[in-house]
């Protein structure tokens, strides 16, 4: 989806990438200052404020606690480019005049409605959570990165994305028993639609 947005929105599409890889809420992203971006001990953002559209910047997040969210390598140059020439207290993601970017204005700029497939901007937060969990990040860490009040909330919300190695092995065994020598269920969709796995 980000590649499709980039056609219309150029660097503005990078905000979708940041939201989808950090799990920040839109208001948290808009309140992020240059000094909230850290390099040591690892690249990360310190999330301690929120700026919901149409409201003043709040000194707390929705969850009420500050948190540190690590940055994957792909995001480091993105944030550096947005911060270039800005002072420590300046907003990282701001329009050319240095002001906050409204979600609706951003959506128009990148033609979100044409590319989002019915998803909300907030769904990029869910994208991050499901990517983390499906790639083996433990639920307690995901809870911390999302700023959830409890790991129970995280697990209740995203448990269906936490397939275990035992699940994968069991499904592969059942598929083989039913005559699918590949052992994976992903081939079913390919067989039914005539698509290859490439």
Domains of the chain: 2-137 (1.10.443.10)
pLDDT in tens, 97-110: 889 999 999 999 89
pLDDT in tens, 13-38: 999 999 999 999 999 999 999 999 99
Instruction: Collect the ranges in the chain with pLDDT lower than 70.
Output: 1-9, 160-164, 182-198
- Greatest distance between any 2 Cα atoms in the chain: 63
* pLDDT for res 183: 57
C-alpha to C-alpha distance for 56 and 146, rounded to whole angstroms: 22
C-alpha to C-alpha distance for 5 and 16, rounded to whole angstroms: 8
Q: Which helix (H) or strand (E) element contains residue 168? A: helix 165-177
pTM, rounded to two decimals: 0.77
CA atoms within 13 A on the CB side of 65: 11
* pLDDT for res 23: 95
* pLDDT for res 171: 82
* pLDDT for res 124: 92
């Amino acid at each position: 989806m980000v590649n499709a947005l980039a056609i219309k929105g150029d660097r503005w599409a990078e905000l979708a990438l940041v939201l989808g890889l950090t799990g920040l809420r839109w208001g948290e992203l808009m309140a992020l200052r240059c000094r909230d971006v850290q390099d040591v001990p690892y690249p990360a953002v310190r999330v301690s404020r929120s700026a919901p559209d149409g409201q003043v910047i709040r000194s707390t997040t929705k969850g009420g606690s500050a948190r540190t969210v690590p940055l994957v390598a792909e995001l480091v140059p993105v944030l550096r480019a947005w911060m270039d020439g800005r002072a420590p207290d300046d907003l990282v993601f701001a329009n050319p005049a240095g002001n906050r970017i409204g979600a609706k204005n951003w959506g128009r700029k990148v033609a979100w409605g044409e590319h989002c497939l019915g998803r909300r901007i907030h769904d990029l937060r869910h994208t991050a959570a499901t990517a983390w969990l499906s790639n083996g990040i433990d639920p307690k860490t995901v809870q911390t990165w999302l700023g959830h009040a409890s790991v129970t909330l995280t697990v209740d919300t995203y448990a269906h994305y936490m397939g275990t190695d035992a699940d994968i092995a069991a499904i592969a065994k059942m598929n083989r028993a039913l005559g699918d020598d590949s052992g994976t269920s992903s081939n079913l969709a390919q067989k039914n639609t005539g698509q290859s796995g490439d």
